[in-house]
Amino acid sequence: MKLFSVKGRSSLNGKHQSGAERIASEKELDKVLTQINKKITRKPFDYLSIKVSIIKKQPPVIKTLKIVEIIADSVEEATQKAVELLHSATGLSEKKIKKLIKTVHTGASPDGNNMRGAMIVNQKGERIELDPFRGVRTTEVDFIDRDKVLQKLKTKGYTERTLDALAISSKNMSHPDMLAEFCISDEPDYLTGYIATKGCYYRLTPLKEKGNPKGGRIYFVKDGVNIENLYNYLEKEAVLIEYTDTD
Ligand code: AMP
């Protein structure tokens, strides 16, 4: 079956606004183009690009992470839980993790804006992404039977955002040098974030204050990671995700 990588992004005055990436069969292509267009035109924009390219090699199939839902009473409580999960997955001190999380809440790009992609942090707590304005972007990933998986997640009270985030984090965690991930949305009113570790996707609410337009992702990696190899896997190698009901 022919598969296509579909990537869209929008910007305003040179600033990244939103992005969306999917894998589509030939039959689904029109539908996916419409869905991507809808997603990246939600925020104001003066530049829009949608790129379609064929995937040359049949992608490997990997299993989804298991979703664990955590509802906290406050952002402080959810953040503390996130810090503990990240500490045990990475070995980084809680103090360093808190400082990194603060960077995401205030704009992790050197100009104080949101990054287009994720920060990469090693076990010494150093940022090692090749371009700190852009970061690394996990693309070339989608669910097998995406529509069915979405329906299933919706019956459990989850959303399409959960679906997209689960695809990204499942691909991320399948790389041997990835230890954990932290994510909060850049949507001011979307307060649910997540931590991914090997095997688990912890969905945490509320992980940010209402009204904050800043958000981002931190990828925690092993010391000694081959950064070019990591970029190549996350940005260029197509992967399909298989959803299995874990509850
Ligand atoms: P979102 O979950 O779409 O609200 O994105 C939150 C933040 O995560 C964005 O502001 C980006 O910094 C980062 N981000 C979004 N999509 C990706 C991706 N595919 N790979 C890496 N980082 C991403």
DSSP string, 185-236: -SSTT---EEEEETTEEEEEE--S-TT----EEEEEE-TT--HHHHHHHHHH
Name the closest-CA residue to atom 7, ligand 1.
216
- To 5 degrees, how large is the angle CA 71–CA 74–CA 78? 55
CA distances 92 to 85, 89, 199, Å, are 11, 8, 19
Residues 27-82: tens digit of each pLDDT? 999 999 999 999 999 999 999 999 999 999 999 999 999 999 999 999 999 999 99
> Which of 15, 16, 186 is the best mutation target for the ligand 1 pocket, counting ligand atoms within 8 Å of the beta carbon and taking the most?
186
Within 13 A of 200's CA, how many CA atoms are on the CB side? 12
Model confidence at 246, pLDDT cuts 50, 70, 90, reads low
Ligand 1 centroid to Cα of residue 19, in Å, is: 8
For residue 234, give the ligand 1 atom closest to its CA.
Answer: 20
C-beta of residue 65 within 8 angstroms of C-beta of residue 178: no
Q: Where in the chain are the domains? A: 3-54, 61-242
